Chain A
Amino acid sequence: MVELYILLIFMIVGAIIAIEVKDLLSSVVAVGAVGLALSIVFLVLKAPDVAITQLVVELLCLIILIRATLKRDLPFSTSGRWFLNTMITIGFIIVLLLVAAKSFTDLPPFGFPIMRVASHYLNNGLSQTGASNIVSAVILDYRAYDTLGEATVLFTAVIGVLAIVRRIGRKKVGEKVKEEDE
């Protein structure tokens, strides 16, 4: 339990560094450290499936961010209304904390979840689906409809990114674009 708190404090410090530091590359590295600590948190909480997914997605995002920010001088947006922005942020945080303190008292304590639906999956998952990895059994058999929706979301995201970024939509009139530049 102690290592969990150490990792959480490390993640909070990393997030603050990522916001406050001026250099973009250092900020990206700090975000990567936060993601790696989150994957270790998932391992400590005994969820290796989520830990593997978090680790590899973090690596891919880190590579994309580093390649996108390494040689660019992106302008640092500093507006003059910092006082109003800070006040609005603090107000939202106070409202959120009040609502959370009200609602989190009804939750069961950490490590003792309510097992209404999950106990059925844990007891009958192996015999009903034949998959010994219970996470696979849930996301691809019991809750496969959710996975279909998630796959649709990813498909739409890929289509959207390719439609915005591709070269052929931004060419001028009469300009010819080669096949590989699309």
Chain B
Amino acid sequence: MATNLDTHEHYHQPGLQHQFEDMRQQQESDSIGMWMFLVQEIMFFGGLFTVYLVFRSKFPMAFAAGSNHLNVALGAANTLVLIVSSLTMALAVHYAQLGKRNLQVVLIILTMILGATFLGVKAVEYTDKYKEGIVPVSGLNLRTPNVEVDSARNTSKNPEEQEKNSLDFPEGAHDTKGNKPVTEHGEEKEYVNRRGNFLWEDTSLVVAAQQGNYLTDAEKIGYFENGEINAEKFRDKVRIFFWIYFAMTGLHALHMIIGLGVMAWLLWKAWRGTFTPEYYAPVEMAGLYWHFVDIVWIFLFPLLYLLGRHFLHSGGGH
């Protein structure tokens, strides 16, 4: 990127930029700069963690219910995948410091594979939620029409009504005739989700908490209508959990994707043997970023996947 403006002589130590006096100053600047960047990342995620904290303290039961519905095995597996990738990254930095090109390249590739695995598992989880109809954004879920209800409606004698139905739910009407989304083992799925709505009926945790008398005051207002548990109102609170879940894991996944991009660039550089024991700052900086993303997940895993796990094992009460 040297332009015609740089008329002065460079020292031409590899990687030394013109504004610095020597390599030490550059290295120091790079590492402080990267840490400053990580601090702003902490605050960036911090906003979401604050949102989480506020709603978790208001509606713990809704959060427990939502959390219990996540696939904890996949979450735990992903945690391990990320930890291993952190190790490979740390080792990549280690061999960059020692100037061993081949090991660097291998370890960077391993890190990338592990990162991609993480994203793959995440995609599987998202797909599951989408199919189950619990993506909290209205209309974004898989539409799964109930065959019987639809065919009953469509056999209605009144042609106008029939047309109205098919206009209302064009996908549903189509699906009843064409491919059968409902039958995997020959039987129907339990639910109908024609508009792709968020579905949630299970209020057992509220019942248990009411019996155990540990609802928060916000929950006493938030889940009940005329003294009765209102499934719709509870569903809205569970929905908040899933919004936060998708926002946090989504932002984290975005950081992973950016990380993979950085790794690809790093791989190219390492492949060309750019890094020496004197100049390996980019590897180290990328490493810091990667570890940071790992740390975020270290917190996301228990906060999102493991809330209220114990309710499942103690029968939902005390």
Q: Do A and B bind each other?
A: no
